[in-house]
Structure 1
Amino acid sequence: MGTLLDRFDEHDGPVRGVDFHKTQPLIVSGGDDYKVKVWDYKLRRCLFTLLGHLDYIRTVQFHNEYPWIVSASDDQTIRVWNWQSRTCISVLTGHNHYVMCAAFHPKEDLIVSASLDQTVRVWDTTGLRKKTVRGAPGAVDDAANMVSRVNNDLFGGGDVVVKYVLEGHDRGVNWASFHPTLPLVISGADDRQVKLWRMNDTKAWEVDTLRGHTNNVSCVIFHPKFELIVSNSEDRSIRVWDISKRLGVQTFRRESDRFWILAAHPEQNLLAAGHDSGMIVFKLERERPAYHAEESHMFYVKDKYLRLHEFESGRDLPLISLRRAGVSQGNGLGNVIRTLQYNVFNPAENNVLVLSDTDGGSYELITFSTEPNGQGDAQDVRRGPGLAAVFIARNRFAVLDKSRQVLIKNFQNEVTKKMAPPNPNTDSLLFAGVSGRVILRSEDKVTLFEQQSRRVIAELQAPRIKYIFWNKDGSLVALMGKHSLVVATRNLEQQCAVTETVRIKSGAWDTYNPRVFIYTTVNHVKYILPSGDSGIVRTLDVPIYLTKCQGQTLHALDREGKTRTFQIDMTEALFKLALSERRYGEVMRMVRGTKMCGQAIIAYLQQKGFPEVALHFVKDNKTRFQLALACGNIEVALNTSHELDEDHCWHQLGLEALRQGNHTVVEAAYQRTKNFERLSFLYLLTGNTTKLRKMLKIAEMRKDTMARFHNSLYLGEVRERVLILEQTGQLSLAYACALTHGLSEEVERLLPLLEASGVPVPAGLPIAGAQLLQPPTPIFRADNWPLLAITNKSAFESWAGGEGTIPPEDYSDHKPSGNVTGATMASYGLEDMGGSSGRGGWEDDLDLDKGTGARQDGRGDQHVGEDSGWGEDEELDLGELAAPGGKGASGTGHGDECEKGFAVGDDANADIYVPPQAGTSCTAHWCENSSHAADHAAAGSFETAMQLLNRQIAAVEFAPMRPLFTTAFTGAYSSLPCLPLIASLRLPLQRNAQDKDPGTASLPSQANRLPPLIDDLKNAYKAFHAGKFVEAQALLGGLLSAIPLVVVDSRAESNELKELLDICREYKTAIRIKNAIAELSSDQAVRQIELSAYFTHCNLQPAHLLLALRMAMVSAFKFQNYITAASFAHRLLEMPEMASEKNAELRLKAQKVLQKSEQMARNEHAIEYDDRQAFVIDCRTLLPIPRGAPCLKCSYCGSSYTPESKGVLCVTCGISQVGLETLGLVTSAGSGNL
């Protein structure tokens, strides 16, 4: 909205006229350089220039049907051009002063022109059409009429003749235009008058003169949809006139800008006006229909009638005429009904409040009958001035008067109470849903006010609210602003909010599901839930205004006041609502009964903390594996890993199992991936020396010397280490090791070998005070970590199986849990390393429970974590315990067992252990408060930072970012030295501690900032200009790696950061092209010319583009492609930098190349390059992709590729994948991008 799309700068001097073609992507412009230029706005370039006028060109216009352009000029002529043949086909002479405007009739063969000679002329172009347009009605193509055509050309017979000369203005006429359908002409002149003319087949005459402007009338047009005339003037005003009444109905003014030009949108109800400072786009009146919807019917206003529409039957009937009721008696622009409100407190009497902008704001209280006569008068009408009015009781309504006082009135329009609002800036009243209350709007805040007690019940910060919607039971309210929507409770407690980039038009609560709110924007129907979840329901072709949402059916009004019905699919919204309310039965039915369990829903379940829910319905093994890891279900992850049998799955399973302390699964994962180093370290940590010795044997079988040596260190096997050193030829080290550890036999054996090999015998051994390096002897060998016993299954599992179990079909592909051994390890002797299930795979665990009496029930041989890792609570007889601190009735009979058990409460669920919850760390708050990867990296959460980058820019290669991650992490903390022998304090650094809560709302300080990147870009510019492409490429690569980890605070910085990304992409592509040229041999002329040409289409700085054009010109000229060389020389000479003295030599060289190339005028080689065709460069193949051809983009840097490159790593940034649709670069920490 209001964004500059393109800029065309080829005219010399002011451009006074411009026009869009009705069907083609063309623009025509005329300026003070006497040139008419035709542009292709899709290709973003000028197609050709039409020359012929001898003075300033005032206006240009395309014909609606024929390939014609009409232009008016200060040379006192009007020219008609054929833009297809690029020739002037007619010159219209007759005016004897500047021609200020000329325009085609939208349907007939007419042209109207206005001149400073005080006349308006209407020209007949029938002859020109017959002469030049083949196939047109009445075209003259036969040979018999050829003679007359030649005579007309030779002796001045006109193809365009003056049909009428309209005289009546006292000074020069500035503008004239046709009515789109009626035989009317409107003109505006320097005599400050607007004149309306009518014409027929034989004559034209003045109908009326519209007076009111106080300065020159610069432009005047007919409104394309309404019977209105719109004029603007140098008196700084725009005036709207009624054609039938010939009176002014509306005036728009500016303080210091004169208006010069007007234009009407061909389809929408929009007008544009140009003034001294720019332009404005506006509507003459609001297009939103006034309506009020109830559960079964709706009241709305159309064509000045109050109408009733019944949703079920579709019956639509007029009730009363608002003209007869006296509503908006002015009946003109500015008097349109703004809002309509029905009195829901008293449905027995039909009362409505109608608000309009008449006299600066007024209201009408109308009492009517619902009998469908449509012709009768309202039973009662009360009116008065007011900025807003709402019903507050059965027979009371509140009015906000112009002095910002709240008046309580009865239905006789008598003031019963007057009060000042709590906020003096109150500017509107909104319906509060409850009798006796009103919502006051002031600036960016709404206040819930009780008028009886005159107290403020609640306040809510919300952007300027325009409309309010209550759900069926009045428990929730949606407050709608221009771009924002806030959902709150009846006491204005905010539940959620959403901000849209386009305008929000309307909304309605679902009558079947009163916690689902449906709203519309300009082009979408969307939903929002109180939990904050939102989404798109469907797209719209035109804006609509919702009146009712009933399940899958939407009722709405369009801008013409027509009732419309739409069918929508609300499955996604209802699914999210059921999940947020933990209605798992409905969730299961929806997932099983629909095909909505796609990747988006799975990601949503995982994001909301319900991966176990998605796990019950997903059949794909890869997805099941990821979900199982997310919810910590090692059993399911283990079974799916068996079926997938991929190394990376086993690796991830090992990490998760290690996190949970499941050593058995960790061991199996390491065995599957043959990760012998980690496997040995696991055995060392858990004290399993038996399997560690097996690892030593396996390392010997694999002939892995380092693994043998490490395992011998872990085991403390000195003789083995001496043997390994001897076998590897390290005799000195073997001798020193044996001597140090007192192995005299080995010393005596190795000494002769040392002397025979000529290696000097190490002296000074053993060293005095040397200590034996021996691994600690495992006393208690670790088992799997104990698990808490969960006695109550989740509500979802209970629903899923009826008895707390999952249906067999959902786990039909699961394998029974157990110890996993790799068949591929059999050759290394690991096939029996799983052990028995009784001790986690180890047979030499210490049975520390023997003799304690705690395992007398025969369960001593069961797996430690199979039922309960801490013993069964049923072994403790706690029923007779006394109050805390006292003794039970049975004395101390259970005292010892109680000391070994848990602390027990008095409630019925005392058998469930609830561990204490730790407080939230500052780094956790950083991750919660920000969606920027840099903040997650600063918090040390590198994994979530990489996940964010993968979702936002499809990043898959993180190696270039590793130093930046570390920088972000280290830069977010400071170290405070303390007392001696006390570790320093590690303090987090926050960037928003001044204006935010340093606890829950904190964000980390960032070491990666924008200014250093700007300095690196400058250095890259210098290296590029100096031809140091390797250095420039390294700097640009560093910038591309750093940009995703830069957080900015303002929109200007965000735009600068995105512009920096575009610059890096263009320059890195240019360097790749330059390097490709350097790698070509001298006989590859075609490819050299092509790459040099592509080089010039990179978006470089002017100084660098000059170098690229020079290189391309020289390359094309050298290989005798003179036409191509001439185009480069042209582009080179047109650059403003060529006017500098330092480029005089290059300018002379380019002129010579251009002269020589124009003489030769041929190309020796056919190349795949056309300077007239727009294209982008495929960054993978360095070939052009024509505009309009299928093209994929890098999700991060925006580099272009052909569809064949989908999914590959981008060669420009080296970070992201090609062709994935993502959010794009996130530059700020908030939920919305700057």
Structure 2
Amino acid sequence: MSLLIKFESKSARVKGISFHPTRPWVLTSLHSGVIQLWDYRMCVLLDKFDEHDGPVRGICFHHDQPIFVSGGDDYKIKVWNYKQKRCIFTLLGHLDYIRTTFFHNKYPWIISASDDQTVRIWNWQSRNSIAILTGHNHYVMCAQFHPTEDLVASASLDQTVRIWDISGLRKKQMPGGGVPSRPTGAQQAELFGQPDAVVKHVLEGHDRGVNWVAFHHTNPILVSGSDDRQVKIWRYNETKAWELDSCRGHYNNVSSVIFHPNADLILSNSEDKSIRVWDMQKRTSLHVFRHENERFWVLAAHPSLNMFAAGHDNGMVVFKIQRERPAYCVSDNMVYYVKGQQIRKLDLTTNKDVALCKLRHPQPFMQPYFSLSFNPAEGTFLLTSRTHNKDLCAFELYKVPTNSDGSTEAACVKSTGINALWVARNRFAVLDKAQNVSLRDLTNKELRKLENINTAVDDIFYSGTGMLLLRNDDGLQLFDVQQKIVTASVKVSKVRYVIWSKSMEYAALLSKHTLTLVNRKLEILCTQQESTRVKSGAWDDDSVFLYTTSNHIKYAISSGDFGIVRTLDLPLYILAIRGNVLYCLNREATPVEVPIDNSDYKFKLALINKRIDEVVNMVRSANLVGQSIIGYLEKKGYPEIALHFVKDEKTRFGLAIECGNLQIALEAAKKLDEPAVWEALGETALLQGNHQIVEMSYQRTKNFEKLSFLYFVTGNTDKLVKMMKIAQARNDAHGQYQTALYVGDIEERVKVLRNCGQTSLAYLAAATHGYLSEAEELKSELESRQQPVPPIDPQARLLVPPPPVARLDENWPLLASARGAFDAQLLGLGGQSATNRAPGVKPTAPAFAAMEDDV
């Protein structure tokens, strides 16, 4: 067995570590003087705090306030607020390096140990020192409060561990156990004269300096680690303290030692580059975890989770020492799982949870069962236990009688094997340590070995009756046990779990950080990469796969759509999905019902399957709101549906333009009232032939040139005359002349040319169009200026536009936006067809286009 490493950081030497009590955070204090805040679940550095001069050795999170305390070689204790990202105050008093700093679980106190041979207790609310514990005659390497009692333990290089009684200090500082009293002058004077903190026991037994000491969380026991390479266990009572035993095995200085919070285990680490796990009862070493090239300096346990962290020369490692995933399997509406020393059954229809039988060979704490396989026809179970040593892997075959209860021991046959699972009602497959797969009967008798397997198999998975999935270095192979052939294969690396849908049509392949959905032929449908570990999953009735990661419940649709259902504080293992309820197991193997909102993936599924009625109902209920669903609809080509979710006017306008919904676009444009918006609306309206909206757009943007041409092509001469007057008022000669051309007003054109100093052109215009009096007047003007009079072309044609046959008041159908069946239903139009499209023109809104085509 090796460490189950969850996170590793690279940094300078780590001298102090503290877990946050509720969030997935860990603080590290470095020999470089920097304090780092890490998220060990997401594996990212959240923040840095750098105010100490020199190494920082002590670090500790407060159990409920957003603060932490640090102590360094600059003789300073600093209290930080991690929300404000700053040091809020500094405590001064120590005269040498500060080794450890810890908060009290109940009172506003900090305890610090220093090379000045003292232990100090501080009140972080009043920001002063309330006690100095003197007596050690060498560096004090560690000092800690008892979790519940008025005791302090300290470890020193003077080779002793001391237990101090601080009940006098508690009574003086916290009368009645409430708010600390403000000390008066008299009390302040008595602070060090009265026995506020007295030595209760001096523990002698180490041959060299003691580096660490820790209280047991419930029992009157201490553990200490020393430079004499020993871990010692001590017991104490009111009158005396004595050494229980020593744990020998480290071959260099023991740096740190702690009790496991949930088991009779002790963890220690050392400068010999190892972490050891000890049996507290037998005082023997259970496991040794070695780390190449790095000495260990500190060890910390999470206050409530099975999580530990160790600091070494080049960073930190966050780890677990045992697997926490419960062994379970699901058969129809029944869930079978292992809890403690029992196999239990949970009925998903009635929520009845009962014990089936008692296990004959329960697994030790650090090696829980790996998997459970159930045979409903015979009422038999296969329980597999695994270690990294293949010789120690084993499985147990349990036959549970029908009248069995939780106290009955079922008949059990135990045998060696890496994995075992059922392939038929009276046959199960076993993978042995030699990587051979064999078939066995109900008595565990080997019938035959599977042949024609041309690869080394390192794991096997259930794949239906008579079928097995074989895992090798390249991926998975689907093997037919009867025909002895490989029927399909897929390249997916390091698959840990395979979960089949109820119809066996789809399978989910779970790797460490990857989810792959395949069909029965092992053809890959979609793949999703996760930043955290993929834990478990189950299929719902619509073939949507719901799965859990370390911190989320997510969904995957075989079409390639993924999304988040909800966040998780702690990992859960999904058993089954019933409606909008997930049935799960937590790490304590306790069934948990988790309500979920499945509207997000139900909506996407309805869109994919073009179930219009369902989509309409979901839109009307308005349960789906958010940028993610809007972005999804736009990306998938359903802007007209996204339109019904959008509240932001700019987004609403963009979607309306995209799907050609001019009315909604016009409403949004009026509210936004921006030139760019009106320009885009005018362009879209012109494509659809809605000249009324085009007119409004040109008016709002004051695009007089385009507006004049619009009036010209629609035959609106009255407004053209107005445009000509507007151009004159604006001194826009070019616009005035062009509008006069559209209207056919010769006098106005001559007038514009004359006013612009184009007398020759004015003369030609007047003479050509038969305005003789104006022509003579202009000719005289030219001659008086001694300018040449241009000759009149006898072949010239008059530039007078023909009058419009009929004024166009209605819009013309150049391009109408297609209205899908979705729009028709939402607007209560039934199945009426939309405005006809021009031949050969593609609609702007493609949603459900196949369903509305006339052909």
TM-score, normalised relative to structure 2? 0.80
Q: Which residue of 2 aligns with 1:437?
A: 468
Q: Which residue of 2 aligns with 1:286?
A: 323
Cα offset for 1:607? 4.3
Structure 1 residues 557 and 657: alpha-carbon distance in aligned structure 2, compared to 1, 3 A threshold: same
Cα offset for 1:197? 0.7
Q: Which residue of 1 aligns with 2:603?
A: 575
Q: Does 1:488 align with 2:518?
A: yes
Q: Which residue of 2 aligns with 1:563?
A: 591
Match among 535, 542, 550 for residue 514 of structure 1: 542
Q: Does 1:699 align with 2:724?
A: yes
Q: Aligned partners of 1:234 and 1:621: how far apart in 2? A: 64
Q: What amino acid is aligned across from residue 761 of structure 1 in structure 2?
A: Q
Report if aligned partners of 1:20, 1:27 keep a CA contact under 8 Å in 2.
yes
Structure 1 residues 504 and 776: alpha-carbon distance in aligned structure 2, compared to 1, 3 A threshold: farther
Residues 91-115 of structure 1, C-alpha deviations (whole Å, 9 max, x = no match): 3232222222111212222211112
Residues 333-355 of structure 1, C-alpha deviations (whole Å, 9 max, x = no match): 1x211222224xx6344233424
Q: Which residue of 1 aligns with 2:97?
A: 56
Cα offset for 1:599? 6.3
Report if aligned partners of 1:364, 1:384 keep a CA contact under 8 Å in 2.
yes
Q: Which residue of 2 aligns with 1:306?
A: 343
Match among 747, 753, 756 for residue 725 of structure 1: 753
Q: Aligned partners of 2:829 and 2:182: how far apart in 1? A: 88
Cα offset for 1:178? 1.0
Q: How does 1:598-609 map to 2 (within 5 A)?
A: 598=625, 604-609=632-637
Residues 222-276 of structure 1, C-alpha deviations (whole Å, 9 max, x = no match): 1222221111112211111122232222221111111111111112221111111
Match among 366, 369, 384 for residue 397 of structure 2: 366
Q: Aligned partners of 1:307 and 1:570: how far apart in 2? A: 29
Q: Secondary structure at the match of 1:64?
A: coil
Q: Aligned partners of 1:867 and 1:125: how far apart in 2? A: 89
Q: Aligned partners of 2:669 and 2:154: how far apart in 1? A: 84
Q: Which residue of 1 aligns with 2:787?
A: 761
Q: Secondary structure at the match of 1:50?
A: strand
Structure 1 residues 619 and 6: alpha-carbon distance in aligned structure 2, compared to 1, 3 A threshold: closer
Cα offset for 1:622? 10
Match among 394, 403, 413 for residue 381 of structure 1: 413
Residues 909-936 of structure 1, C-alpha deviations (whole Å, 9 max, x = no match): 9xx887xxxxxxxxxxxxxxxxxxxxxx
Q: How does 1:804-815 map to 2 (within 5 A)?
A: 804-805=831-832
Report if aligned partners of 2:666, 2:681 keep a CA contact under 8 Å in 1.
no
Cα offset for 1:48? 3.5
Cα offset for 1:135? 4.0
Q: Which residue of 2 aligns with 1:82?
A: 123
Q: What amino acid is aligned across from residue 422 of structure 2 in structure 1?
A: F
Q: Does 1:352 align with 2:382?
A: yes
Greater shift after overlay, 195-204 or 242-251?
A: 242-251
Q: What amino acid is aligned across from residue 166 of structure 2 in structure 1?
A: T
Q: Does 1:533 align with 2:561?
A: yes
Q: Secondary structure at the match of 2:405?
A: coil
Report if aligned partners of 1:740, 1:766 keep a CA contact under 8 Å in 2.
no
Q: What amino acid is aligned across from residue 164 of structure 1 in structure 2?
A: H
Greater shift after overlay, 540-549 or 98-107?
A: 540-549
Q: Secondary structure at the match of 1:468?
A: strand
Q: Does 1:246 align with 2:283?
A: yes
Q: Which residue of 2 aligns with 1:277?
A: 314
Greater RCO, 1 or 2 (C-alpha within 8 Å, sep 6+) = 2
Residues 166-193 of structure 1, C-alpha deviations (whole Å, 9 max, x = no match): 1112222221111111100111112221
Q: How does 1:1029-1048 map to 2 (within 5 A)?
A: none
Q: How does 1:465-484 map to 2 (within 5 A)?
A: 465-484=495-514
RMSD value over aligned CA atoms?
4.6
Cα offset for 1:300? 0.3
Q: Aligned partners of 1:748 and 1:866: how far apart in 2? A: 58
Q: Secondary structure at the match of 1:588?
A: helix
Q: Aligned partners of 2:674 and 2:512: how far apart in 1? A: 53
Q: Does 1:212 align with 2:238?
A: no
Q: Secondary structure at the match of 1:559?
A: coil
Q: Which residue of 2 aligns with 1:596?
A: 623
Q: How does 1:819-858 map to 2 (within 5 A)?
A: none
Q: Aligned partners of 1:109 and 1:73: how far apart in 2? A: 21
Structure 1 residues 404 and 731: alpha-carbon distance in aligned structure 2, compared to 1, 3 A threshold: farther
Cα offset for 1:720? 4.9
Structure 1 residues 59 and 415: alpha-carbon distance in aligned structure 2, compared to 1, 3 A threshold: farther
Residues 596-619 of structure 1, C-alpha deviations (whole Å, 9 max, x = no match): 365666665454334556789999
Report if aligned partners of 2:120, 2:132 keep a CA contact under 8 Å in 1.
yes
Q: What amino acid is aligned across from residue 503 of structure 1 in structure 2?
A: R
Q: Secondary structure at the match of 1:4?
A: strand
Q: Secondary structure at the match of 2:208?
A: coil
Q: How does 1:581-660 map to 2 (within 5 A)?
A: 581-592=609-620, 594-596=621-623, 598=625, 604-611=632-639, 629-632=657-660, 652-660=680-688
Q: What amino acid is aligned across from residue 271 of structure 2 in structure 1?
A: E
Q: Aligned partners of 2:771 and 2:569: how far apart in 1? A: 91
Structure 1 residues 643 and 637: alpha-carbon distance in aligned structure 2, compared to 1, 3 A threshold: same
Greater shift after overlay, 414-423 or 9-18?
A: 414-423
Q: Which residue of 1 aligns with 2:133?
A: 92
Report if aligned partners of 2:208, 2:226 keep a CA contact under 8 Å in 1.
yes
Q: Aligned partners of 2:803 and 2:473: how far apart in 1? A: 73
Q: What amino acid is aligned across from residue 225 of structure 1 in structure 2?
A: N
Q: How does 1:685-1084 map to 2 (within 5 A)?
A: 690-691=715-716, 695=720, 698-700=723-725, 703=728, 705-712=733-740, 720-731=748-759, 734-735=762-763, 747-754=775-782, 761=787, 784=812, 804-805=831-832
Structure 1 residues 534 and 754: alpha-carbon distance in aligned structure 2, compared to 1, 3 A threshold: same
Report if aligned partners of 2:742, 2:801 keep a CA contact under 8 Å in 1.
no
Q: What amino acid is aligned across from residue 50 of structure 1 in structure 2?
A: L
Q: What amino acid is aligned across from residue 392 of structure 1 in structure 2?
A: V
Cα offset for 1:560? 1.4
Q: Aligned partners of 2:765 and 2:179: how far apart in 1? A: 114
Q: Aligned partners of 1:779 and 1:672: how far apart in 2? A: 26
Residues 1167-1200 of structure 1, C-alpha deviations (whole Å, 9 max, x = no match): xxxxxxxxxxxxxxxxxxxxxxxxxxxxxxxxxx
Q: Aligned partners of 1:162 and 1:612: how far apart in 2? A: 78
Q: What amino acid is aligned across from residue 517 of structure 1 in structure 2?
A: F
Cα offset for 1:280? 0.8
Q: Aligned partners of 1:785 and 1:67: how far apart in 2? A: 78
Q: Which residue of 1 aligns with 2:372?
A: 340
Cα offset for 1:725? 1.3
Q: What amino acid is aligned across from residue 471 of structure 2 in structure 1?
A: L
Q: Aligned partners of 1:476 and 1:131: how far apart in 2? A: 69
Q: Does 1:262 align with 2:299?
A: yes
Residues 1144-1185 of structure 1, C-alpha deviations (whole Å, 9 max, x = no match): xxxxxxxxxxxxxxxxxxxxxxxxxxxxxxxxxxxxxxxxxx
TM-score, normalised relative to structure 1? 0.57
Report if aligned partners of 1:392, 1:438 keep a CA contact under 8 Å in 2.
no
Structure 1 residues 63 and 637: alpha-carbon distance in aligned structure 2, compared to 1, 3 A threshold: closer
Q: Which residue of 2 aligns with 1:71?
A: 112
Q: Which residue of 1 aligns with 2:263?
A: 226
Cα offset for 1:638? 9.7
Q: What amino acid is aligned across from residue 489 of structure 1 in structure 2?
A: N
Q: Aligned partners of 1:37 and 1:597: how far apart in 2? A: 47
Structure 1 residues 666 and 417: alpha-carbon distance in aligned structure 2, compared to 1, 3 A threshold: same
Q: Secondary structure at the match of 1:748?
A: helix
Q: Which residue of 1 aligns with 2:16?
A: none
Structure 1 residues 867 and 458: alpha-carbon distance in aligned structure 2, compared to 1, 3 A threshold: closer
Cα offset for 1:776? 11
- Ranges in structure 1 where 5+ consecutive residues have no aligned partner: 807-816, 818-864, 871-908, 915-1234
Q: Secondary structure at the match of 1:208?
A: strand
- Ranges in structure 2 where 5+ consecutive residues have no aligned partner: 1-41, 841-849
By percentage of residues, which structure has more strand?
2
Q: What amino acid is aligned across from residue 357 of structure 1 in structure 2?
A: T
Match among 91, 105, 114 for residue 146 of structure 2: 105
| Percent identity (aligned) | 47
Structure 1 residues 616 and 805: alpha-carbon distance in aligned structure 2, compared to 1, 3 A threshold: farther
Q: What amino acid is aligned across from residue 460 of structure 2 in structure 1?
A: L
